[in-house]
Amino acid sequence: MKELTRKGFLAGGLALLAAGAARAQKGPMLAYADGLKEGWWIGGWAKQTPAVPLEDQKPVEITMAAWNVFTFQTWQKLNGADFKTLTLLVHGGPKGKQEFTLRLRLGEKAYESQVTLKGLKGKWARYDVPFKDLKIKDGQFDTIELRNASAETLEPFYVNYVILQ
């Protein structure tokens, strides 16, 4: 986890996108960056508001009641072998301390491996999650799932710049 400003993230992350555009269509791929990208939609049953102004960004605001799920979904089956890292920015809002899991799914089939992420009080944190930690290997997926795995409601938090690379 790295604390990061938008300017620093854009300088590094978008340079990777530009480099990837010259390669085959195997990524990088944006799911969300100041709004949903073409071919992606939001699912789950957590309360969410896309493109909420926060500092100089427009993240999706997420409020999860106990056991809630929030997803970024696409209509296409993506190959895990085409990507090495899933990157996203998380802001904990004024209170922070949110803890939720990240995992991948193909339809209703969820991969068992998950990674825990945390919202930091009043600041952005960059998470670079290696696909090997999600144990998808050569499997396919179409959903990025964030889950509140507790009986407690989480304070609102924000997610932006969801990039598969």
All domains in the chain, ordered by first residue: 2-164 (2.60.120.430)
What confidence category does residue 130 fall into, taking pLDDT thresholds of 50, 70 and 90? Answer: very high
- Residue 2 pLDDT more than 60? no
Residue 93 — φ and ψ, nearest 5°?
70, -165
- Residue 148 pLDDT more than 50? yes
pLDDT over 90, % of the chain? 78
For 36-86, what is each residue's pLDDT tens digit? 999 999 999 999 999 999 999 999 999 999 999 999 999 999 999 999 999
Report whether 100 contacts 88 (CB < 8 A): no
Arithmetic mean of pLDDT over the chain: 87
Interior angle at CA 142, CA 125 and CA 129, nearest 5: 30
Provide Rg for the chain, Cα atoms: 15
Please report the DSSP string for 17-41 in residue order. Answer: HHHHHTS-SS--EEEESSSBPTTEE
Q: What is the pLDDT of residue 22?
A: 34
